[in-house]
Amino acid sequence: MKTEVFDIKGMSCSACVAHVDKSVRNLEGILAVQVNLLTNSMSVRYDEALLSSTDVESAVKKAGYEATARLKIETVVQETVTEKSGNKKELLVDKETMNMKKRWQGSLFFLIPLLYVSMGDMLALPYPAILQGHANTLNFAFVQFLLTLPIYFINRKYFVTGFRSLMRGAPNMDSLIAIGSSAAMLYGVYAIFRIGYGMGSGNDTNVMKFAHDIYFESGATILTLITLGKYFEARSKSRTSEALTKLMDLSPKTALVIRDDKETEIPVCQVTIGDVVIIKSGQSVPVDGEVMTGSASLDESALTGESIPIFKKEGDTVMSATICQTGYLKLKATKVGDDTTLSQIIRLVEEASASKAPIAKLADKISGFFVPVVISIAVIASAVWLLLGYPVDFALSIGISVLVISCPCALGLATPVAIMVGTGKAASHGMLIKSAESLETGHKIDTIVLDKTGTLTAGKPIVTKIISNRFLPENKLLEIAASLEKQSEHPLANAVLDEAEFRGIIPQPVVDFEVFPGLGIKAVINERVYFAGNTKLMEENRISTESFAKKTESLADEGHTLLYIANATEVLGVIAVADVLKPHSAEAVKHMQQMGLEVIMLTGDHLRVAQHIQQKLGIKRVIAGVLPQGKEEEIRKLQAEGRKVAMVGDGINDAPALVRADLGIAIGAGTDIAIESADVVLISNDLSGVSSYIRLSKEVMLNIKQNLFWAFFYNILGIPLAAGVFIPIWGWTLSPMFAAAAMSLSSVTVVLNALRIRSGKSLIKKG
């Protein structure tokens, strides 16, 4: 058995993933296939006795894509973080985005003069003499042909993939685009020949007839508009792939280790299990390990969501990507490379993005039977009129009319126009939507999972209460605390100093400042000794906290961190510090519940703290004490119950869960990793945007279905007319010119309908 990774070129949508997966899975000897659109790669497990990598590459090529086996199987983490040159390898830069942008710009460059030539005379615009009048009709037609050719060449990929899919019996949107634009081009070329023949034979009537039947601009416009939509899709995909790159950036590229009794800086990929790693203040931890000597406060918010740093001492475990805020540690490496906590998170993000079920587009489903039916109608109609004795050009005109009116311009616009208008509407209300898939998924959501720290709460510790003894005013206690904490690097010190600054209190100078790691601090103010720290510091200095036990009991139960301020003999007071709820959290949760959504809180914080938040917000279910891997697993469990889950978070620790969820929603004030991993970003910290987004999703999806109806309404009405069904009855027929007009009218209808979203006033409501 062998597992091999292949780089895939040419994939641009979930339909591509399905085609590649199916083509490889049908091979004899294939055991497992996983195609990842995010990294344009495919992992294949197969029986070497029956298959080789060449067989897999050939199967992918037959499906219309290119596959190349990697010479050395490495994880994305290793390939990105390490490279022989020492520079970061940009594996996840999506070149497809720039390619689509250039294609659209190139198409537009030729489309503008083409439209001017084809319609300038009708609009009474200044027009070159060489294109005016009966004598220059051939010039008029041939210039349009020359301007159309570059647009078709630039967008030749639609024809290659479209006709290839058609030949395989699996037509898609590219097939519709290829057939429709080819029909317009072929009829235009035919019209040029008829114009030339008419001018040579003196048949002015024929010349005038075909001068109005040149439809080069129709095919060129179709290709340009479709390419614009594809560019926006590619750009969304490119932004999504940046999540993995930013996750990888968290890992230090080097580590300081003890080798031959000397401190040596080496690439992190060379660290082995058992190595002694040195961590200094301000550094990021490169590996998972166990503290041998030293102590430090580590910021673990990236992994656990806990806003208050954790004190680490000998015997404690330390995770990669955590940051040493103060102190010094000597670690014994226990997990390196792919086994570290950060690498596991990266793997979860990648796997979750690959395993998301492709969202079947209604237009693609319809095209599966629509294209063969249209082709059949066009061929049969032409054949029937030939058999009835009509001229070849009449029969050909009938066939081309059927194909032109069936051209998928409106069908291709139905979804992207509504999506673009919807995303613009959302952006104006502080919501960034990254893809059409996320809008399509939003209206199906029935369960909202909320992270606590930074999502429901502010994510920053603040002073919530000051309790002083009866002989000491609050502000005086705060002055003592601020004077002590002025010299401290502990995160709680910032909360105390911020409160002092807010009250206009100026810290006093201190001497003999001393830090007790994990306990607190001691200093002398105006020749008197003072302490600031936890209960253990008080106990070690034989200072009783009994008088404050009842006053602080409820605060401790609610998850507040208590900072005792004492002199040499007694406790002077207690300052409570906590991460408090955001102002609009309660209202937002209530509004979600009113919409019939089940709200669940999922946090890495302690159960006691989570339950306090739960009571305040009225959330029925809470899951606490969960690490990133656990968060992702909890989302899996909810999905296994048949739920459509939206995850709302702001931290790096939320990234796997955000990607695993059916819909990932990030708070704009959160980390870049969370923002890049999510499908939707709420620019503000207002959670009411979650319910607003779901409402908008429902409106956009309804609009898309209406657009698809109008896109096909003209086909259903026009195809029989174009095929000549009504000629024997009323003499009605539809020339290619009117067929193209009907096709354009369907596009205009779709666009106007989509624009209604912009003027909708009931979409965005503050909860």
Cα–Cα distance measured from residue 305 to residue 77, given in angstroms and rounded to the nearest whole number: 23
CA distances from residue 7 to 19, 40, 71, 180, 411 in whole angstroms, order as listed: 15, 6, 11, 32, 32
| Residue 723 to residue 397: CA distance in whole angstroms | 9
CA proximity to 514, closest of 532, 495, 492: 532
Residue 224 CA: distances (Å) to CA of 8, 156, 158, 526, 689? 26, 12, 11, 78, 34
Residue 399 tokens read as 């066939």
Q: Which of 179, 177, 181 has the alpha carbon at shortest distance from 219? A: 181
Do 296 and 312 contact (CB within 8 A), yes or no?
yes
3-state secondary structure of 377: helix
Query: By three-state DSSP, how is residue 607 classified?
Result: helix
Most distant CA atoms of the chain, gap in Å: 118
Token pair 């060489």 is found at: 130
Residue 566: name the closest of 588, 602, 538 by CA.
538
CA nearest neighbour of 304 among 560, 647, 667, 603: 603
- What does the block give as tokens for 756? 């209604």
717 within 8 A of 466, measured Cβ to Cβ: no
Report whether 167 contacts 120 (CB < 8 A). Answer: no
Tokens of residue 11, six digits: 């994939």
Amino acid residing at 124: A
Phi, psi of 682 (to 5 degrees): -90, 110
Name the nearest CA neighbour of 247 among 339, 349, 333, 337: 349
Classify 388 as helix, strand or coil: coil
Number of Cβ atoms within 10 Å of the Cβ of 265: 10
Q: Which of 451, 579, 650, 654 is catalytic?
A: 451
Q: Is 512 a catalytic residue?
A: no
What contacts 128, CB < 8 A, 6 or more positions away?
Answer: none
The residue behind tokens 């890992």 is 251
The pair of three-digit structure tokens given for residue 564, joined into one six-digit string = 């005792």
Q: How far is CA 250 from CA 4, 303, 407, in A?
A: 27, 11, 49
Buried b (16+ CB within 10 A) or exposed e, 538-549: beebebebeebe
Q: Write out the DSSP string of 283-336.
A: PBP-SEEEEEEEEEEEE-HHHH--SS-EEE-TT-EE-TT-EEEEEEEEEEEEE-
* Closest to 43 in 3D by CA, of 53, 58, 29: 53
Which residues, 6+ apart, have CB-to-CB distance to 313 below 8 Å?
Answer: 291, 294, 295, 517, 518
The rounded distance, in Å, linking the Cα atoms of 304 and 557 is 20
Task: Tell me the two tokens of residue 25.
Answer: 């899975």
Cα distances (Å, whole numbers) of residue 54 to 62, 73, 74, 75: 12, 16, 19, 21
What is the C-alpha to C-alpha distance for residues 348 and 355, in angstroms, rounded to an integer? 10
Closest CA to 408 of 438, 376, 363: 363
**Catalytic positions:** 451
